[in-house]
């Protein structure tokens, strides 16, 4: 059935030209509107499948005003515009259009844009529905499964993270319950699925506040009566006065907030249980997340009620760290930096669905590991993942390698051969260096994506395949498209869910973890007793620019383990010195070793605790380690009780 399209354009000639092009391509044009008001009436009556929307229209309202309604109604739309300044473009992008065409455009450009918009909308909607269904199931399981009460809040934080990205979640309990002295818990994200749990007393210690000061701040803090979000300027307004919101923003560097009040959980409670999500990004939240919160609030209420009934019997809630090791589900991807944690979030979102994924990033950043993790976390995990290096295949053999051939199809084809796509049937195919694929092969790959079938060379009939495609490249595909080396329609088909892998220089804080990992791996393989590297060697590694990224770091550590003369690597042989800019030299001076960072952090906590180690308000409790362990660390790092070193 052809798609029903509404044209919103106030220029008669342009609207008529659009109508002719669409009808020639077998689309149904349900109507043409010249203003937002006319469009609203037609949308209510006709319910179009897609809208072509000019930004500047007759009347006081623009296409951007209508776009907000279209997004809420889940109707895909493509902007049409002849001239737009940066301010207009930014406002248009904020509405998340399904495409953007600059006038004048060719008929081919219009038809490609329509095809891509429909594909993205259908796949995005299907993916979102599946993910929300999974989220609702997970929230139901929190109640149904035998999860200990002290773990329920942590599990709630973990299952919400892929849908409502946050750096800190505050759980505010009703004040007229037995939990008055500890009526707020904070979950500070410090890694993927890893959270530091901070009680109100812990926050008071971190902020160096007295109990009555915290109580006064809680009393004046406004809790939203309905689901609301505050970005940038709105958030600045919320924290303009002294409140708990301002304390959290100043202490942890937060710039946006989403409030999700639930409902009173106890008969005498004078305010509801409330969840507040904070993010360091200034524009982290939007109306889509508000709509999601409305849909999942009933499930959250049931889950928290079950937890609350049990926990109030003891008068307290304690939350332990997650049972599994951090990042253990990501198949050897090492790191805890915010940049890498954001990649983990994307993997966890896209893995359960069959959406095509495009992984971008410099050579050596670990794009293949990302593909492995997506496959391992998907429903196709029990089937193969077939890997193809598009750059390494000879141009005269690439089609035979990918699609297979029949016996006698060409000289030397002595037997039938299955191609990589058939080998990956029911599993995943990983197309590495997709930017190097020849144009003629790109056409056939596009057919695989569209028709879910391949044709062997010399074959008489197409062969159906059920595969998921993950592609990767270190090239700028948008530039390749502009220069005619990569097909625009294929780019948009692959780029349904992009994941950019940061370079090692962008996540230097992960270098010590990677170094320790590679030292353990290669000391075991080679049979050398090497336990680590010196502080001097680590400083050199942190100061280097790593153009070869993780692959280069791994090679350097393997070589250093081979050449080590003792249990501690003291010399690191790096490539010729790279001249650095003044800003880079300043960065080198500022970098500290992991031991220096640990020492500085312990000293900071000791100062806030006035030297107290033991007890509820002591440094050991804040650091979540036994007092004896803290004493040993202080001795090892040379920290005295007067905080000097």
Residue 365 has a pLDDT of 94
Name the least confident of 445-449, 514-518, 563-567, 592-596.
592-596
pLDDT at 619 over 70: yes
The answer to whether domain 4-117 and domain 146-311 are alike in fold is: no
β-pair type (168-172, 274-279): antiparallel
CATH label, 352-502, candidates 3.40.50.10490, 3.40.930.10, 3.40.50.300, 3.30.830.10:
3.40.50.300
CA angle 192, 196, 202 (to 5 degrees): 165
Residue 161 has a pLDDT of 85
Q: What is the pLDDT of residues 231-245, one digit of tens each?
A: 988 898 888 777 888
pLDDT at 111 over 50: yes
d(CA 516, CA 534): 11
d(CA 275, CA 184): 10
Residue 180 has a pLDDT of 42
**Contact at 8 Å (CB) between 634 and 602?**
yes
Contacts for 280 with CB less than 8 Å, ≥ 6 apart: 167, 252, 253, 254, 255, 256
pLDDT at 325 over 50: no
Q: What are phi and psi of 507, to 5 degrees?
A: -135, 55
Most confident of 55-69, 161-175, 258-272, 563-577: 55-69
pLDDT-derived band at 508, boundaries 50, 70, 90: very high
pLDDT at 130 over 60: yes
**Contact at 8 Å (CB) between 263 and 303?**
no
**Among 359, 380, 265, which residue's Cα sits nearest to residue 312?**
265
Report cis status (omega within 30 of 0) of the bond before 104.
yes
Contacts for 405 with CB less than 8 Å, ≥ 6 apart: 413, 416, 417, 419, 456, 457, 458, 459
According to DSSP, the residues that pair with 258 across neighbouring strands are 229, 277
**Contact at 8 Å (CB) between 627 and 620?**
yes
Q: What is the DSSP string of 400-450?
A: HHHH-B-TTSSTT--S-B--HHHHTTTSEEEEETGGGS-HHHHHHHHHHHH
Domain 505-590 = CATH 1.10.8.60: yes
According to DSSP, the residues that pair with 198 across neighbouring strands are 186
Q: Where does residue 35 fall: left (phi above 0), alpha (psi -120 to 50 degrees), or beta otherwise?
A: beta
CA angle 210, 639, 600 (to 5 degrees): 65
Most confident of 254-268, 528-542, 584-598: 528-542
The CATH number assigned to the domain with range 4-117 reads 3.40.50.2300
d(CA 381, CA 352): 10
Residue 590 has a pLDDT of 44
Query: Domain ranges in the chain?
Result: 4-117, 146-311, 352-502, 505-590, 594-637
Q: Is the dihedral of CA 145, 149, 151, 156 positive or negative?
A: positive
pLDDT at 357 over 90: yes
Q: What is the mean pLDDT of residues 320-324?
A: 37
Residue 390 has a pLDDT of 87
pLDDT at 628 over 60: yes
Place of tokens 């926050």: 203
**Contact at 8 Å (CB) between 223 and 283?**
no
pLDDT-derived band at 425, boundaries 50, 70, 90: very high
Residue 314 has a pLDDT of 40
Q: What is the pLDDT of residues 515-542, one digit of tens each?
A: 999 999 999 888 888 888 999 999 999 9
pLDDT at 608 over 90: no
Instruction: Indicate the length of the chain as a whole number.
Output: 645
Residue 176 has a pLDDT of 47
pLDDT at 168 over 80: yes
CATH label, 146-311, candidates 3.40.50.1110, 3.60.15.10, 3.30.450.40, 3.20.20.80:
3.30.450.40
Q: pLDDT: is 323 or 4 the higher one?
A: 4
d(CA 253, CA 246): 10
Name the least confident of 36-45, 212-221, 544-553.
212-221
Residue 582 has a pLDDT of 44
Name the least confident of 115-129, 340-354, 368-382.
115-129
**Among 329, 445, 465, 468, which residue's Cα sits nearest to residue 385?**
468
Residue 271 has a pLDDT of 57
Which segments of 94-148 does DSSP mark as H helices, in order? 107-144
Q: What is the pLDDT of residues 204-229, one digit of tens each?
A: 888 888 888 888 887 777 777 789 99
Q: What is the pLDDT of residues 366-417, one digit of tens each?
A: 999 999 999 998 889 999 999 999 888 877 778 888 988 888 877 777 888 8
pLDDT at 363 over 60: yes
pLDDT at 498 over 50: yes
């Amino acid at each position: 059935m052809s798609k029903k399209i509404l044209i919103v354009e106030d220029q008669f000639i342009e609207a008529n030209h659009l109508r002719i092009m669409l009808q020639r391509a077998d689309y149904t044009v349900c109507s043409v509107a010249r203003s937002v008001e006319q469009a609203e009436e037609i949308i209510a009556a006709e319910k179009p499948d897609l809208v072509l929307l000019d930004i500047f229209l007759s009347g006081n309202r623009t296409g951007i005003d209508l776009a907000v309604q279209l997004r809420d109604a889940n109707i895909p739309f493509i902007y049409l515009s002849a001239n737009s300044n940066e301010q207009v473009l930014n406002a248009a992008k904020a509405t998340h259009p399904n495409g953007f065409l600059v006038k004048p455009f060719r008929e081919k450009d219009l038809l490609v844009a329509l095809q891509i918009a429909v594909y993205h909308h259908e796949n995005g909607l299907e993916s979102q529905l599946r993910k929300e269904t999974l989220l609702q199931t997970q929230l139901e399981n929190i109640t149904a499964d035998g999860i200990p009460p002290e773990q329920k809040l942590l599990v709630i934080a973990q299952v919400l993270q892929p849908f409502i990205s946050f750096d800190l979640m505050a759980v505010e309990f009703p004040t007229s319950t037995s939990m008055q002295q500890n009526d707020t818990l904070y979950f500070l994200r410090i890694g993927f699925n890893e959270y530091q749990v901070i009680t109100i007393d812990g926050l008071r210690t971190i902020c160096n506040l007295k109990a009555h000061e915290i109580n006064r701040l809680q009393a004046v803090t406004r809790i939203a009566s309905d689901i609301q979000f505050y970005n940038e300027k709105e958030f600045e307004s919320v924290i303009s006065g002294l409140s708990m919101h301002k304390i959290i923003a100043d202490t942890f560097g937060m710039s946006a907030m989403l409030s999700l009040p639930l409902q009173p959980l106890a008969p005498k409670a004078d305010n509801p249980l409330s969840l507040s999500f904070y993010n360091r990004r200034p524009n982290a939240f939007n109306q889509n997340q508000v709509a999601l919160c409305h849909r999942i609030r009933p499930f959250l209420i049931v889950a928290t009620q079950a937890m609350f009934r049990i926990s109030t019997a003891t008068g307290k809630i304690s939350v332990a760290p997650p049972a599994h090791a951090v990042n253990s589900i990501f198949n050897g991807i090492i790191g805890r930096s915010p940049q890498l944690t954001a990649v983990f979030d994307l993997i966890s979102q896209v893995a359960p669905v069959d959406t095509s994924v495009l992984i971008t990033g410099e050579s050596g950043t670990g794009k293949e590991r990302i593909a492995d993790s997506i496959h391992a976390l998907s429903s196709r995990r029990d089937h193969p993942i077939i890997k193809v290096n598009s750059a390494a295949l000879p141009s005269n053999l690439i089609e035979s390698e990918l699609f297979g051939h029949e016996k006698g199809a060409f000289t030397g084809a002595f037997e039938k051969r299955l191609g990589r796509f058939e080998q990956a049937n029911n599993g995943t195919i990983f197309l590495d260096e997709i930017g190097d694929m020849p144009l003629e092969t790109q056409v056939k790959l596009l057919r695989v994506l569209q028709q879910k079938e391949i044709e062997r060379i010399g074959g008489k009939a197409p062969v159906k395949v059920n595969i998921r495609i993950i592609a990767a490249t270190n090239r700028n595909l948008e530039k390749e498209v502009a220069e005619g080396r990569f097909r625009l329609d294929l780019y948009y088909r692959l780029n349904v869910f992009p994941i950019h892998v940061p370079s090692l220089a962008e996540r230097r804080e992960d270098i010590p973890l990677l170094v320790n990992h590679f030292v353990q791996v290669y000391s075991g393989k080679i049979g050398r007793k090497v336990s680590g590297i010196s502080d001097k060697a680590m400083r050199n590694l942190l100061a280097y620019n790593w153009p070869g990224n993780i692959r280069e770091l791994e090679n350097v550590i393997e070589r250093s383990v081979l050449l080590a003369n003792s249990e501690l690597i003291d010399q690191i042989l790096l490539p010729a010195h790279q001249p650095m800019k003044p800003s880079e030299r300043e960065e080198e001076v500022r970098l500290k070793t992991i031991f220096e960072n640990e020492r500085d952090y312990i000293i900071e906590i000791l100062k806030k605790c006035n030297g107290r180690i033991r007890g509820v308000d002591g440094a050991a409790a804040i650091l979540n380690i036994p007092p004896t362990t803290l004493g040993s660390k202080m001795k090892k790092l040379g920290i005295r009780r007067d905080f000097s070193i």
